Amino acid sequence: MAAAEAGVTALLVEGLGKRYGATVALEDVSFSVEPGEFVALLGPSGAGKSTLFRCVTRLAKPDAGRVLVLGRDIAALRGAPLRESRRDVGLIFQQFNLIGRVSAIDNALAGRMGHAPTWRVALRRFAAADRQLALAALDRVGLLEKAYQRADSLSGGQQQRVAIARVLAQRARLVLADEPVASLDPQSAENVLGTLRTIAREEGIAVLCALHQVDLARRFADRVVALRGGRRLMEASAAAFDESAFRALYGVADRLETTS
Ligand SMILES: Nc1ncnc2c1ncn2[C@@H]1O[C@H](COP(=O)(O)OP(=O)(O)O)[C@@H](O)[C@H]1O
Ligand SMILES: [Mg+2]
């Protein structure tokens, strides 16, 4: 299959549904993320954010709907096209998920694994070009001078920026970040979200970032998709996500009209 075309929607979620027994984790959720866009997936605990990510990465199989990554229906992919599609998607987690005892650059190089031949990965013999890419990625997130420091000696915010360098080295075109700042102090959280916004704008990467803090979503995201009880409550520009939307999401009202 040919590589996905430039300009195609990075992520299209259509009518997505997922149940766990009697629990409705997602119901009829639709939205899209375009290249260069930072979309916040906002919602309280249990809203279905992680389930949505699991459906997009094929860790969970949806009961209804479909997911297109760069125009390709991921449920239909097998073999080489599936591996190719996996390379397009970078993942960032709440707990950083770095290899603690190795350096920042080796962690960034892990982003090249989907590209390098298996023997190189096994022997940790990455090509000079891969090392250059990893260093450039660390430079991009402001951590060039920490390249040879062990990951577990870095602060939480720095570790999360190494995780961003890893997806840059991977040359991911869609980045899924599941509560990437939930373990960070406010200053580090702003730094990490600012870095994600920068890579979206300047590299044209599509970023979908689960958050539960409305103020951070409003300040850093271009658009907000709000989930509650597995349903999409609203989709709005970050600026339109106001006080009444906040109340609808976190309590009081049960329903809210879509404002855009
Ligand atoms: N593996 C699972 N088995 C059973 N229920 C699950 C499982 N994963 C998630 N759920 C349920 O699905 C709902 C959505 O959970 P989740 O996607 O983790 O929400 P969030 O990430 O927004 O906190 C919750 O009610 C949760 O208990
Ligand atoms: Mg979650």
What are the pLDDT digits (tens) for 77-86? 999 999 999 9
User: Could you report the per-residue pLDDT of 48-76, keeping only the tens digit for each?
Assistant: 999 999 999 999 999 999 999 999 999 99
In this structure, the residue with its CA closest to atom 24 of ligand 1 is: 46
* Ligand number, closest to the Cα atom of 60: 1
Tell me: the pLDDT tens digits for 238-252?
Answer: 888 877 777 777 775
Of the candidates 218, 225, 167, 238, the residue with the CA atom closest to the CA atom of residue 196: 167
The closest residue, in CA terms, to atom 18 on ligand 1 is: 50
Length of the chain, in residues? 260
Please tell me the predicted confidence (pLDDT) of residue 236: 87
CA distance 34 to 211: 19
Residue 125 has pLDDT above 80, yes or no: no
Burial of 141 (0-12, 13-18, 19+ CB in 10 A): buried
Between helices 186-203 and 156-169, what is the axis angle to 10°? 20
pLDDT > 90 fraction of the chain, expressed in percent and rounded: 75
pTM: 0.91
Cβ atoms of 115 and 172 closer than 8 Å: no
Question: Could you give the CA distance from residue 139 to residue 9 in angstroms, rounded to a whole number?
Answer: 28
Residues near ion ligand 2 (CB < 5 Å) are 49-50
Please identify, by atom number, the ligand 1 atom nearest to the C-alpha of residue 212.
Answer: 22
Average pLDDT over residues 20-43: 97
In one-letter notation, the amino acid at residue 165 is A
Residue with CA at minimum distance from ligand 1 atom 13: 25
What is the 3-class SS of 112-176, one letter each residue? Answer: HCCCCCHHHHHHCCCCHHHHHHHHHHHHHCCCHHHCCCEHHHCCHHHHHHHHHHHHHHCCCCEEE
Atom index in ligand 1 nearest the CA of residue 48 equals 17
Pocket test residue of 13, 16, 23, 55 for ligand 1, highest count of atoms within 8 A of CB = 23
Q: Nearest bound ligand to CA 227?
A: 1
Q: What SS3 class is residue 33?
A: strand
Instruction: Give the residue, out of 13, 19, 20, 211, with the most ligand 1 atoms within 8 A of its beta carbon, to mutate for a pocket test.
Output: 20
Q: How confident is the model at residue 119 (pLDDT cuts 50, 70, 90)?
A: low
Find the mean pLDDT for residues 120-133: 78
* Distance between Cα 18 and ligand 2 center (Å): 15
Q: What is the pLDDT of residue 118?
A: 65
Identify the pLDDT of residue 212. 87
For ligand 1, atom 11, which residue shows the shortest CA distance?
25
List, for residues 201-230, the tens digit of each pLDDT value.
999 999 999 998 889 999 999 999 999 999
In the 8-state DSSP scheme, what is residue 103?
B
Structural domains in the chain, CATH included, are: 11-100+171-250 (3.40.50.300)
